[in-house]
Structure 1
Amino acid sequence: MAGDNLMLVVGSYDDEASASEDYAGLKSAEKDGDYEVVGAVVLSRDADGKVEVKEHGDKSVGHGAAWGAGAGVIVGLFAPPLLAATAVGAGIGAIIGAIKKGHDEKELGVDVEQYLPPGSSAIVAVVDDTWADRVEKALLKADKRISKAIDADDYDKLRKALEKSEDEVSKAVES
């Protein structure tokens, strides 16, 4: 991970195509060395409220079951209830509960209804705070943008819980 000062950067879009274009631009500028992204996803929410991870890239985790642990970490930081609803393994719910309990004075994540209402898309990225302004500005087509500090410790706890859960799913499939 780039550092201990992490930011959650969210851009909200009326349509999936605009979010995908900005995501491609975000990844291209990262490849060119303009900034470093710890992890990023494009989320789309249909009219019924079902959320799908459309695109993702995350350097912090490698192998993937279902839609990948890296995407799950980002989704979990954006809206912990989304992660709890889609993740496998009871341990992840316990980790989310412990993290939320440790943040009584501040809200963890970003309001899903505000930044990902039904029929919309969003880019959700975790970056070192050094790059937050650049990444937020790279979301050119976003209708709304927000940057919010998150704890590196919380990111690590979620990542480890997801990796553990993923390993358990893999073992169950192999047996």
Structure 2
Amino acid sequence: MGTQNLVLVVGSYDDAAAASSDYQTLRSGQDAGGYEIVGAVVLVRDKDGKVQVKEHGDKSVGHGAAWGAGAGVVVGLFAPPLLAATAVGAGIGAILGAIKKGREEKKLGDDIDEYLAPGTSAVVAVVDDRWADNVEKALARSEKRLTKAIDSENYEKLRKAIEESDDDIVAQINS
């Protein structure tokens, strides 16, 4: 799959179980051949504001290729500060800074507090834009949704930097 026309799709949930269920629906739709997902995660933010990155249920992301290949990129594109909190390496930091600056210049309203307020969850997915409607439908239990285009150059640079630093990121997450 190319990375020319990618979008970020976010569903926000007051209930973590609903987010997990929609994540499973999202994965089932891909497995059935309805669309292709580049990467997707469930984010859970506790009442104190601490964020956990999960795939689904109790299986945490952050082990080997699963983090580097998709989840880290998804988190970095949605909320660069979340990835920066665990990422090491100048390459990732520079790319995250460029993504954040680009968002500020474009005045994009994907503030983490709006879509992942304390005590809520979110399903965040990166997909080809032709699948955006299908993915939004899979996130049926979400209270609100956001779909926005992703700069393909930022996506590729971030993916490459994460793959090159994968072992360092995993070590940091697991420490």
Q: TM-score, normalised by structure 2?
A: 0.84
Answer whether contact 2:7 2:150 (CA < 8 A) is retained.
Answer: yes
2:149: which partner in 1?
Answer: 149
CA shift at 1:16, angstroms?
1.0
- For the pair 1:130 / 2:130, whether they are aligned, the reply is yes
1:162: which partner in 2?
Answer: 162
Q: Secondary structure at the match of 2:88?
A: coil
Q: Deviations over 1:68-123 (max 9, x none)?
A: 22211101100111111121223211121234445553146821000000011000
The number of equivalent residue pairs is 164
- Paired with 1:104 and 1:142, the residues of 2 have a C-alpha distance of 26
Answer whether contact 1:108 1:150 (CA < 8 A) is retained.
Answer: no
Q: Choose between structure 1 and 2: higher helix proportion.
A: 2
- For the pair 1:32 / 2:32, whether they are aligned, the reply is yes
2:112: which partner in 1?
Answer: 112
- Paired with 2:11 and 2:102, the residues of 1 have a C-alpha distance of 26
- Paired with 2:36 and 2:47, the residues of 1 have a C-alpha distance of 33
- The one-letter code sitting in structure 1 at the alignment partner of 2:151 is D
1:41: which partner in 2?
Answer: 41
- The one-letter code sitting in structure 2 at the alignment partner of 1:146 is L
- Paired with 2:169 and 2:116, the residues of 1 have a C-alpha distance of 29
CA shift at 1:134, angstroms?
1.1
Which is worse superposed, 85-94 or 5-14?
A: 85-94
Q: How big is the alpha-carbon RMSD for the aligned residues of Structure 1 and Structure 2?
A: 2.3
How many percent of aligned residue pairs carry the same amino acid? Answer: 68
Answer whether contact 1:11 1:143 (CA < 8 A) is retained.
Answer: yes
2:5: which partner in 1?
Answer: 5
- The one-letter code sitting in structure 1 at the alignment partner of 2:23 is Y
**Residue 169 and residue 42 in structure 1: after superposition, are their counterparts in 2 closer, same or farther (change >3 A)?**
closer
Q: TM-score, normalised by structure 1?
A: 0.84
Q: Secondary structure at the match of 1:141?
A: coil
- Paired with 2:2 and 2:91, the residues of 1 have a C-alpha distance of 26
- Paired with 1:170 and 1:45, the residues of 2 have a C-alpha distance of 20
CA shift at 1:3, angstroms?
3.9
**Residue 140 and residue 103 in structure 1: after superposition, are their counterparts in 2 closer, same or farther (change >3 A)?**
closer
* Residues 15-30 of structure 1 aligned to structure 2 (within 5 Å): 15-30=15-30
1:60: which partner in 2?
Answer: none
- The one-letter code sitting in structure 2 at the alignment partner of 1:130 is R
